[in-house]
Amino acid sequence: MELAGKIIFWFYAVVIVAGGGLAVTSPNLVRAMLGLIATLFGVAGMYLLMNAPLLAFMQLLIYVGAVSVLIFFAIMLSRASATGDEGMEPGLWPNVRAFLAFALPMGVLGLTAFLAPPAGVLVPAEVDPAKLGQALLGEYTLPFELISIVLLAAMAGAVLIAFEKRGSK
Amino acid sequence: MDVPFELVRIVIAILALAAFVGVNAVILVWVERKAAGFIQRRPGPYEVGPQGLLQTVADAAKLVGKQLFTPAGADPVLFWLAPLLAFLPIFVLLLPMPFGPTATGMEVNLGLLLILAFAGLNVLSLCLAGWGSNNKWSLLGAARAVSQAVAYEIPLLLSVLAIAFMSGGMDLSAIVREQGGWPWQWNLVLQPVAFIIYFVAAIAETNRAPFDLPEAESELTAGFHTEYSGMGFGLFFLAEYAEMIVVCGVAAALFLGGWRGPFGTDGWWWFLAKLYALLLSMIWFRWTYPRIRFDQLLVLNWKWLMPLAMINLLVTAFIMKL
Amino acid sequence: MSAPTSITEKITRLWSLIVGLKVTGKYFTKPQVTLHYPRKTLDDENLLTYRGHIELVGLPKKPGTPKCISCGMCQAVCPSNCITLTKRKPPKPTEAEKKAMEEAEARGEKVKKPSAPKDPASFNLDYTLCSLCGCCVENCPVESIRFSNDIYLAGTDPNAFRYDLLQRLKEQAAAKPGAQKAQAASGGETGEGEA
Amino acid sequence: MSVQREICDVNPFPEHVAGDFYSNYFEKGQAENTLIINMGPQHPSTHGVLRVLVEVDGEYILRAEPVLGYLHRMHEKIAELKTYYQYMPNMGRVDYLHAMAWNWAYAGAVERLAGIEVPERAEYLRVIASELNRISSHLLWWGAYLLDLGAFTPIMYAFDDRERILDILQRPSGSRLTYSYFRLGGVAADFDDIALAKIREFIPHLRGRLPMYKDLVTDNVILRGRVEEIGVLPLEMCRRYGATGPVVRGSGLAYDVRRAEPYSIYDRFEYEIPTDTECDAMARYSVRLAEIEQSLRIVEQAVAALPEGDFLSKGAPKPRWKPPKGESYFAVEGARGKIGIYLVSDGSNSPYRLKLRAPGFSNLSLFSEASKGTLLADAVSILGSLDLVIPEIDR
Amino acid sequence: MSPVTWYQFVAVLLLGIGLFGLVSRRTLVGMLISVELTLNGAGLSMAAAAQFTDMDAVMGQLGVLFVMGLAAAEATLVLAILVIVSRRVKSTQTDAVSQLRG
């Protein structure tokens, strides 16, 4: 199982990186969204691999089922052309800027991860969803409530913003 | 190298499910056309095979033989990815389905969540189909599909959650086991509101009449699959029926006691019987009602199903706590 | 969904959905009303009144020869120009007859020229043009045209609908030996489908 | 309309007209973020080859303009080339759903011009045939309209009943759709006893079916949502466009040619002109269903009072008949509204000019205004509620 | 190297890709996609840390769930903003939006 696990891990890793690459470089936004979805699937697969199926399914439910659909909606609303006016900006400075944004955190965080490897467990244990629920309502009530407030605020804000325009126009 | 038993089991299960989906979709299409025929007082398919039973097979053969046509200006990758994306998740969706006491593709603790998670892919495929077709009707169909699916997913989730609350888990087999064989031991009795909400939302999620707006043929010609020919259309068609099987299977397991039968006659036959009863009622709705309008669809969802599902969930939670 | 409504009204509205299901459910169990064509066909009662393309009516004594007198009325009255009728030419007199006629004419006698037979040389119908108005049938002075009851008419070639009606009449007469009298009375039940 | 939205009206009439309708009236006036869609000429809900150009913002229609001419068959010009006698079959093809009314309009115009008397029995037969045909037309509309609204089954039930009417009308006329049953001075053939018996049988049958129609469709809450308060056509608007028939009756005006300018023997029958003041698609729907009942009443009375006699006048015109010089106008009430035929004769054996006034044309011209600001689905509903027959509009 | 390090590498890579996109993308939607990538990287890192170390797994998983919730909220808000921007500016290019005053 060890070998199979490794193969699967690398497969997911390739999917994630390839999807991510497509997502940030494709001039066509719908294809970029497709890349994002591939990445999301890869991440979900990794969650499964690290024995957290709840996270994996929630990842699919929230990201693939809701967020990517919202993104698609946004693409349709903004009427991005199918051929795409989106892509790398010409010129040296924007490219350097983008590369720096990529490389700096990569270097710092990657080095940290490499230099300070934590004492790892090889086979992670699955967490019972019930335990999660108890923690949510016990130990972590405050963040839970906070996130619900954030969601509510976001929803109200979205509605408000969208409505404000119609009234003013 | 020893192959783990679990993996073999899943592979076998997927193969069996593929056969199941294939055979049942064929039968279901035939049942639908036959039922439509009887409702409209005509015989329905009749010529190919006994009582036209092989008509769907003949249609499928025709579809396979047709040219796969990519419209000019369409994005070929998105265009052909969409039908695949509609069809492939079906196998995953059926994996945790409890067909019988032992006949389950894969016992997943979070089976219900798995189904809900992968059901979201369907919307995505509609989006891609509509967008990739480079056709205005398809685009309108996709826009409808998106808002409809996003809206109806919420009451669907909430009504299913009510059952999950009651059973304290998301394992479909466990939920079935908790119910009895007799109708009054079903979850339907305890959760009638959840059942109605689930069923309505399920019809909307599978884009069946009267909620078949994304493909409303009198308005949008064929909506998101206007441009599809041959097996591209065939896969959408197959996916629609396979999805009907999924949602009705979940309904049978959650609300109608799944494979439990009275007098200890548990078995897959009960599950299939309940599944087909639900499928038939879906077909019955389709051939009875006119199509609902788009804003009415959303009003129905936001004003009725959502609050009802919410209240139902709260009441369930309250009672469970008592 | 527009105006606020009372609870009872809402219930009746929902009930209407059930009523609709009841209707379709009832018809689901009822026998079918369609006719399964190749296996079952309509009774003749229904077919006899159907007006298919036109056909010629044979003489009571000689069913192979039409009553037609080649007057050309049908051709003239047809709004769609779908009938082509050619008259017979008078038989060519032999040399001897010709001579005799010329002599007789020279003598100043009244010559009886050979007249053409009245039945048409050809009578063709282009059914692809016909609008089935019935003008030809109504205006035929000798009632030599009638509608066939050919309801099961299908073909893949437009030429299949260009009929030689004389030929058809001959075939009909041949198909029904000894039915000379019945020919005039009824619409010819057997020979219809073979056109 | 519950979902109407404010529209900025674009009116881009160009100075110089070159190019087709689309490039002149739509492309230039297009606002940003809108789609221009060709609904038709091949579209499931336009019932034939009608093309409707729509500019939509999302699903809201900003502008909709019907484009005609795809089925133009020059019926008026053909009249000038045919004799009076030969022109009759054309009438069955103008409006194939209510062919009898067009038959009647043409026969009536010629008869009025030449002063031909129609035998009494022929008048009754004309009424029976025309009213039965009206019922079949309304039944077909009913089914097709519900098909537009997404219900598949009603059209099959409607065809079940319609088939019986076709069987009845086939007996005297010989055809099932494009009837050429009327003749100048009478009708082509008599109704035999079997046909009359079938009619007597049919009337109670259809009356028994109408409650089912109501249960299955009329009372259905989904249908109500799709037709109530949709496509409101105020009476003033109907007047402006010259709408007639069930459209104007659905807007509250009891205008029916059979009452307003009685022709033939319609004054002998007792019947009502159903009207509805709601002005919406539901009003037109219920007016048509009520008309089915009224037509049944008329047929019932006509069959009961059917006198003996000739079905074709003795002095009926022959193929080469020439009418006197002059002009005449004859109007009848078709299933879609007022059918008018204006006929000018120069004394030759074919008309000098024949003008067909098709009700569908006027009714369709309402669509552009009525559909502004509605949803695409509502526009389909409105288009269906106008009961269009494209060959009649294009003529 | 223990598995957690590998997972962390992937997570960091994902984060980097997301940041790269965030800087290089010129439309709002493109930036939204990039932000989702970044959030996913964070989530992956958290989950890996929670699962493969002695740390409390519950906390890590809850953290990931919170990130998901935030992502959903953020996407909703961006969509709403996008609606306005696309209606007012007729473009979703960020440069065009930045020229707005008031």
What is the CATH classification number for the domain harbouring E31? 1.10.287.3510
Distance from CA of B42 to the nearest CA of C (A): 5
Is the residue at B95 inside a domain? Answer: yes
Q: Residue E91 has what pLDDT? A: 55
**Residue range of the domain that includes B158:** 71-321
Q: How far apart are CA D361 and CA D336, in angstroms?
A: 10
Q: Which of A4, A61, A73 is facing B113, going by the closest CB pair?
A: A61
The confidence band for D8, taking pLDDT boundaries of 50, 70 and 90, is very low
Q: E47-69: buried (b, 16+ CB within 10 Å) or exposed (e) per residue?
A: bbbbbbbeeebbbbbbbbbbbbb
C-beta atoms of C34 and B41 within 8 A: yes
Is the residue at D123 inside a domain? Answer: yes
pLDDT at A89 over 60: no
**Chain B residues in contact with D30 (beta carbon < 8 A):** none
Dihedral sign for Cα atoms in the order C174, C176, C181, C185: negative
**Chain B residues in contact with A82 (beta carbon < 8 A):** 73, 75, 131, 134
Asked casually if ipTM beats, i.e. exceeds, 0.90, the reply is no
C-beta atoms of B290 and D222 within 8 A: yes
Q: C97-125: buried (b, 16+ CB within 10 Å) or exposed (e) per residue?
A: eeeebeeeeeeeeeeeeeeeeebbeebbb
C-beta atoms of A53 and B75 within 8 A: no
Helical pair E3-24 and E28-52, crossing angle rounded to 10 deg: 170
The confidence band for C188, taking pLDDT boundaries of 50, 70 and 90, is very low
The confidence band for D136, taking pLDDT boundaries of 50, 70 and 90, is very high
Fold of A2-81+128-168: Four Helix Bundle (Hemerythrin (Met), subunit A) (1.20.120)
Q: Is B191 exposed, middle or buried (0-12, 13-18, 19+ CB in 10 A)?
A: buried
Looking at every residue in chain A, the average pLDDT score rounds to 76
C-alpha dihedral (C28, C32, C38, C43), degrees to nearest 10: -170
Distance from CA of D33 to the nearest CA of E (A): 8
The confidence band for C182, taking pLDDT boundaries of 50, 70 and 90, is very low
Chain-centroid distance, C-alpha A90 = 27
Distance from CA of B295 to the nearest CA of D (A): 8
Each domain of chain A, given as residue ranges in start order, spans 2-81+128-168
Dihedral sign for Cα atoms in the order B11, B17, B23, B29: negative
Q: Residue B110 has what pLDDT? A: 77
Q: What is the mean pLDDT of residues D304-316?
A: 83
C-beta atoms of A16 and E13 within 8 A: yes
The confidence band for A82, taking pLDDT boundaries of 50, 70 and 90, is very low
Q: Residue C181 has what pLDDT? A: 47
The confidence band for E9, taking pLDDT boundaries of 50, 70 and 90, is confident
**Chain C residues in contact with D225 (beta carbon < 8 A):** 1
| 8-state DSSP, C63 | T
| 8-state DSSP, D3 | T
* Chain C residue at shortest CA distance from B210: C17
- Do chains E and C meet with 3 or more Cβ pairs nearer than 8 Å? no
Interface residue C153 vs chain D (CB under 8 A):
no
**Chain A residues in contact with E92 (beta carbon < 8 A):** 78, 80
**Residue range of the domain that includes D111:** 75-370
Among the residue ranges C64-73, D13-22, D245-254, the one predicted with the least confidence is D13-22
Look at chain D and report how many structural domains it folds into.
1
Q: How far apart are CA A73 and CA A9, in angstroms?
A: 32
Give the D window 85-104 contacts with C, CB below 8 Å.
85-90, 93
pLDDT at B2 over 70: no
Q: Residue D3 has what pLDDT? A: 42
Q: Which residues, including other chains, have CB under 8 Å from residue B96's CB and lie 6 or more apart?
A: B104, B105, B106, B107, B108, B111, B112, B114, B115, B172
pLDDT at A86 over 50: yes
Distance from CA of A102 to the nearest CA of B (A): 28
pLDDT at A111 over 80: no
**Chain B residues in contact with C36 (beta carbon < 8 A):** 43, 46
**Chain D residues in contact with E86 (beta carbon < 8 A):** 33
Distance from CA of B42 to the nearest CA of D (A): 9
Between residues D284 and C149, the one the model is more confident about: D284
Is the residue at B28 inside a domain? Answer: no
Q: Which two tokens stand for residue D1?
A: 């309309």
pLDDT at A1 over 50: no
C-beta atoms of D32 and E90 within 8 A: yes
Look at chain B and report how many structural domains it folds into.
1
Q: What is the mean pLDDT of residues C88-98?
A: 78
Interface residue D217 vs chain C (CB under 8 A):
yes
pLDDT at D332 over 80: yes
pLDDT at D13 over 60: no
Interface residue A18 vs chain E (CB under 8 A):
no
Q: Residue D186 has what pLDDT? A: 85
Distance from CA of C152 to the nearest CA of D (A): 14
| 8-state DSSP, D37 | E
Interface residue C21 vs chain B (CB under 8 A):
yes
Give the E window 48-87 contacts with A, CB below 8 Å.
48-49, 51-54, 57-59, 61-62, 64-66, 68-87
Q: What is the mean pLDDT of residues C8-15?
A: 81
Tally C-beta pairs within 8 A across A and B. Answer: 83
Tally C-beta pairs within 8 A across B and C. Answer: 37
- pLDDT tens digits along D335-390: 888 899 999 988 888 888 889 888 888 888 888 888 888 888 888 888 888 888 88
Look at chain C and report how many structural domains it folds into.
1
Q: What is the mean pLDDT of residues B208-231?
A: 78
Q: What is the mean pLDDT of residues A8-30?
A: 84
Is the residue at C120 inside a domain? Answer: yes
Is the residue at B242 inside a domain? Answer: yes
Q: Residue A124 has what pLDDT? A: 67
Is the residue at E60 inside a domain? Answer: yes
Q: Residue B144 has what pLDDT? A: 83
**Chain D residues in contact with B210 (beta carbon < 8 A):** 150, 222
Subunits with 3+ Cβ pairs within 8 Å of D are B, C, E
Q: Model-level pTM?
A: 0.82
The confidence band for B150, taking pLDDT boundaries of 50, 70 and 90, is confident
Looking at every residue in chain D, the average pLDDT score rounds to 84
| 8-state DSSP, D62 | E
Q: Which two tokens stand for residue D305?
A: 């009072």
Interface residue C79 vs chain B (CB under 8 A):
no
Between residues D122 and C169, the one the model is more confident about: D122
Is the residue at D13 inside a domain? Answer: no
C-beta atoms of B42 and C34 within 8 A: yes
The confidence band for D25, taking pLDDT boundaries of 50, 70 and 90, is low
Q: What is the mean pLDDT of residues A44-48?
A: 85
Q: How far apart are CA C185 and CA A102, in angstroms?
A: 98
The confidence band for A83, taking pLDDT boundaries of 50, 70 and 90, is very low
Q: How far apart are CA E52 and CA E47, in angstroms?
A: 8
Interface residue C19 vs chain D (CB under 8 A):
yes
Subunits with 3+ Cβ pairs within 8 Å of B are A, C, D
pLDDT at A169 over 60: no
Q: Is C56 helix (H, G, I), strand (E, B) or coil?
A: strand
Is the residue at E38 inside a domain? Answer: yes
C-beta atoms of A109 and E12 within 8 A: yes
Interface residue B140 vs chain A (CB under 8 A):
no
* Chain A residue at shortest CA distance from B136: A76
Interface mutation vs chain B, best among D47, D153, D216, most B CBs within 10 Å: D153
Tally C-beta pairs within 8 A across D and E. Answer: 4
* Chain C residue at shortest CA distance from B284: C21
- Do chains E and A meet with 3 or more Cβ pairs nearer than 8 Å? yes
Among the residue ranges B5-9, B223-227, D41-45, the one predicted with the least confidence is B5-9
- Do chains D and B meet with 3 or more Cβ pairs nearer than 8 Å? yes
Interface residue B29 vs chain A (CB under 8 A):
no
Q: Residue D342 has what pLDDT? A: 92
* Chain A residue at shortest CA distance from E43: A43
Distance from CA of A57 to the nearest CA of B (A): 6
Is the residue at D304 inside a domain? Answer: yes
Interface residue E42 vs chain A (CB under 8 A):
no
Interface residue D80 vs chain C (CB under 8 A):
no
Q: How far apart are CA A97 and CA A90, in angstroms?
A: 12
C-beta atoms of A71 and E70 within 8 A: no
Is the residue at D20 inside a domain? Answer: no
Q: How far apart are CA B90 and CA B112, in angstroms?
A: 14
Q: Which of B75, B109, B170 is facing A82, going by the closest CB pair?
A: B75
Q: How far apart are CA A59 and CA E44, in angstroms?
A: 11
Between residues E32 and D5, the one the model is more confident about: E32
Looking at every residue in chain C, the average pLDDT score rounds to 76
The confidence band for C2, taking pLDDT boundaries of 50, 70 and 90, is very low
Subunits with 3+ Cβ pairs within 8 Å of C are B, D
C-beta atoms of D221 and C16 within 8 A: yes
Which of C13, D154, D379 minimizes the C-alpha distance to B290? Answer: D154
Q: Which residues, including other chains, have CB under 8 Å from residue E91's CB and lie 6 or more apart?
A: E85, E97
pLDDT at D184 over 80: yes
Q: How far apart are CA E37 and CA A40, in angstroms?
A: 8
Is the residue at C78 inside a domain? Answer: yes
C-beta atoms of B137 and D37 within 8 A: yes
Among the residue ranges B48-52, B267-271, C61-65, D158-162, the one predicted with the least confidence is C61-65
The confidence band for B309, taking pLDDT boundaries of 50, 70 and 90, is confident
Distance from CA of E96 to the nearest CA of D (A): 17
Q: Which two tokens stand for residue C94?
A: 């032999």
pLDDT at A118 over 70: no
